[in-house]
Amino acid sequence: MSAAESHAAPYIEAQQAQASALPAVGVAALDHSRSEALQLLGERGLPTQRDEDWKYTSIKAITRTRFTPAAPSVECSKEMVDASAIENLDSWRLVFADGFYQPEYSTLDGLPEGIRLAGLGEVLKTDPDSVTKHIGSAMGEMPHGFAAMNSAFVGDGALIEIAPGVELDKPIELVFLSGCSGEGFLSLPRNLITLGTGSRASVIERHLSCAEDRTLSNALTEIILEEDASLDYCCVQDQAERTFHVGGLFARVAGSARLKATTATVGRAWVRNDARVNLDAKGAAASLDGAYLAFGRCHVDNHTHISHNAPECTSRECYKGVLGDRGHAVFHGRIVVQPDAQKTDSEQSNQNLLLSADAEIDTKPQLEIYADDVKCAHGATVGQLDEAALFYLVSRGIEREAARRMLTQAFAAEVLETIEPAALQDYLSAKVSGQLSPAAPTEAAR
């Protein structure tokens, strides 16, 4: 047995032990997809650095612990939920403890007609056929063992269904609290977001720690946008330093539909993100943006893949990272223009600011073009603060550390200023400022 297979073995055993208790057992489509995912996990195992897409990201720190899947009986406290609130944010809110829905702390008052907002687990028990047809459809081929693990355990998470023509006037907020079960537990939330023709919505997905315990969060979100639908989606990762977070975002975008997806990694956790978007019909558009911080010994890895599968589609991608201390980040962005995707318009950018000599970034922007009538550009930069700008601010009486913070925040602002609503933007700006503060911790224990 290879190392990759042996690392997956405990989770295969755990799934087999829990399989009969998972919701919607006996529903053929879901039984099949779980079984297929479990088989794939056994064949592939968990990724190693021999895998090209994991070349710069080691999971050795994860494999030192045999994480136990959290139980549906897990609970969080009102104090934890209250502490997670964003000031002045008006939203419909679903709260999850280690991946399991907590209805008593969720706020669904005033939902308009034409929207279903619920815990996925409850819907799988009461109306499984309405959602099983969508599970796995946005992801397609599973990219690695962690995605297979999540798919094998599908049991709870968020379900958002918006009917054609419905336009929401405030965001939906999904709050995932990890560590509620204590040390050594694994959460596996699976989220499904579908927007009907011509609908409009905004979704905020937040991953937070409710304790300093060593935990693993393996979260996967699928998004399906029908023709002319529009979704603003923001994933905020603000977890503690002993948390490991593997995130997956998979989307299919139909003709004239628009997806704006932003990932903000502002905590102290070890993070791996995979975002894969398919532009499937004429006029589809997507923007993938990211802001990430890596201080102390933090590791943040962002892998993105946008596939232009039809003519006249547009994509924009801008990821910006700030690294200090011994922080390490990885960016691999891949844009593929298929042969039929004529008149593609695509731009990709990765920019990184290194605040210390020991910080490190591995960046690989990539274009694969199989059509001849396209407009595409990509690039990456790695640099330090502009000494001339720093000197200018200091010469105007601003202390050097304050000047460094000002310039660094201005660097990240290109991504953060595109985020709505304003309350969320203010929250993220404060998080960035806090990380840059001299009082912030500089070493992360693994």
Three state DSSP letters for 16-57: HHHHHHCCCCCCHHHHHHHHHHHHHHHHHCCCCCCCHHHCCC
pLDDT in the model for residue 401? 86
Q: What pLDDT sits at residue 446?
A: 52
Q: What is the pLDDT of residue 444?
A: 44
**Domains of the chain, residue spans:** 3-281, 388-438
What pLDDT, on the 0 to 100 scale, is given for residue 442? 47
Residue 83: C-alpha distances to residues 79, 126, 211, 232, 297 (Å):
6, 32, 12, 25, 26
How many residues are recorded in the chain?
Answer: 446
Could you write out the three-class secondary structure of 299-361?
EEEEEEEEEECCCCCEEEEEEEEEECCCCEEEEEEEEEECCCCCCEEEEEEEEEEECCCCCEE
- Residue 192, helix vs strand vs coil: strand
C-beta separation of 106 from 95 below 8 A: yes
Residue 40's φ and ψ, nearest 5 degrees, are -65, -40
Query: How far, in Å, CA of 237 to CA of 241, rounded?
Result: 12
Entry pTM = 0.96
Distances in whole angstroms, Cα of residue 131 to Cα of each of 121, 128, 208: 11, 6, 27
Q: Return averaged pLDDT per consecutive 10 residues of the chain, 446 residues in all.
A: 85 96 94 96 96 97 96 94 96 98 96 97 95 94 96 98 98 98 97 99 98 96 99 98 98 99 97 99 98 96 99 98 97 98 98 96 97 96 90 88 88 92 96 78 48
Q: What is the pLDDT of residue 98?
A: 98
Alpha-carbon span 149 to 247, nearest angstrom: 12
Question: For residue 290, what are the CA distances in angstroms to 180, 260, 298, 418?
Answer: 28, 11, 17, 11
pLDDT at 438: 63
